[in-house]
Amino acid sequence: MNLHATLLLLLAPLIVTIVHARLFADDFIRLPSEKSHSVGTRWAVLLAGSNGYWNYRHQSDVCHAYQLLKNGGIKDENIVVFMYDDIANNEENPRPGIIINHPDGDDVYHGVPKDYTGEDVTVDNFFAVLLGNKTAVKGGSGKVVNSGPNDHIFIYYSDHGGPGVLGMPTSPYLYANDLIDVLKKKHASGTYKSLVFYLEACESGSIFEGLLPQGLNIYATTASGPDESSWGTYCPGEHPSAPEEYDTCLGDLYSVAWMEDSEVHNLQTETIQQQYHLVKERTSNGNGNYGSHVMQFGDLQLSKEELYLYLGTNPANENFTYINSNSLRSSSKAVNQRDADLLHFWHKYQKAPEGSARKIESRKQFAEAMAHRMHVDSSIKLLGKVLFGIEKGPEVLNEVRPAGQPLVDDWDCLKTYVRTFETHCGSLSQYGMKHMRSIANFCNAGITKEQMMEASSQACPTFPLNSWSSLGNGFSA
């Protein structure tokens, strides 16, 4: 046997060992240049949960998100869009047919799929789409998330919220326990590999806190903690401000933070965790008066994955280098989500010619919104005093459960008491969702249905006859 053959025989076991080791290690260790771009199908569900021109920013956020995903190479057939679609061609819109999400931004409305619009933007349709249940969908395009076991799903929601609840332009609203149940069903069906959820809403941390378990391969971030508001941005009077002709906020602080970050980084190398920290920094705004605390929930190890797995990747960004600092300047101010409608009505009033129909209309809109707010606030305060007494009432209303606990133990109780309150006191509406914690505390304190009904009738012998308090659109629960 010659020398070469002898060496080959001696080295053969070592070569086999190295090859096997490389095959097993390949799933765990790769050089950046070796990373595989072969992933399952990427799916996305984008939902704007409001209507009305004063809520311009929510549909603007969702349209911007669509453009980001489209530029990332995700096909329309894999992106499902929910939006009321009453903004672009609204008579209030100074640029008809165009929606912008930044003061100097391009149109983000063009090309957006109109999958579920108007009265088809419902909780039931959202759940059916997520579960891939075509037969349960009512109206709309019929498009659903027909995902498989190797697929990655991205969900983005932008709207008003409250403790344990997310707004919708139709009734009922979306309650945290129902969302978590659907996410568990999706996991049990084995039809995704991992799922990332970005949530923009006031008190959005309450949607997942104490409710989203680990082990579902779901990672979620929220614009705010469970007991604080989220914030609108690019609003009139801010710096940078919306263009002069706009009387409304163009975007939301958390939302524009993650999208604008995605546009200046290579998503093949930037991880979810890196983006989370940059978005958290920008959304806190360096000022406790104008910002919120971004939070994360679920399977946090997923945050080590690169963003391209969910958002795709724009070839134009492939040479961008990740910078471990925030290159995007924070706004000097931001507007509490719940006050953005008042800001719109006020700027509309100020700019309208004296004695004009527009002046009269905007004054009426502002007055009705304020009347509704004062009615809801005073009714909840009175309800607390009727149920618990003058001294203990405010304490119960404002009680916040320890971190890690869900808002309420009995979600059916919460929904029943919301309906009871609204029957006697009128709709909570987008503003009144802030009081969900108080109503949940009635359940946690053991208040009976009969007590809730009697106290509600005492607190609200009447309620304002305006669009905010009207039950014409149905109950919130």
> Which pLDDT score is estimated for 290?
79
> Which pLDDT score is estimated for 5?
46
Q: What's the longest Cα–Cα distance across the chain?
A: 108
Res. 6: pLDDT tops 90: no
Please give the C-alpha separations between residue 332 and each of 159, 233, 289, 294, 449, in angstroms, as whole numbers: 22, 10, 11, 18, 47
202 catalytic per annotation: yes
Res. 26: pLDDT tops 60: no
> Which pLDDT score is estimated for 58?
98
Cβ-based neighbours of 428, under 8 Å, separated by 6 or more: 376, 418, 421, 422, 435, 436, 476
pTM over 0.75: yes
Q: Find out whether 92 and 43 touch, Cβ atoms under 8 Å.
A: no
> Which pLDDT score is estimated for 308?
97
Q: Which of 63, 202, 413, 460 is catalytic?
A: 202
For residue 362, how many other CB atoms are within 10 A of its CB? 21
Measured CA to CA, the distance from residue 361 to residue 423 in angstroms comes to 28
Lowest mean per-residue pLDDT among 235-244, 258-267, 325-334: 325-334
> Which pLDDT score is estimated for 299?
98
Q: Which of 58, 64, 102, 160 is catalytic?
A: 160
Q: Find out whether 154 and 44 touch, Cβ atoms under 8 Å.
A: yes
Range 189-205 average pLDDT: 98
> Which pLDDT score is estimated for 115?
98
Res. 105: pLDDT tops 80: yes
413 catalytic per annotation: no
Give the confidence band of 16 by pLDDT, cuts at 50, 70, 90: very low
> Which pLDDT score is estimated for 29?
37
What single DSSP character describes residue 33?
Answer: G
Measured CA to CA, the distance from residue 341 to residue 137 in angstroms comes to 32
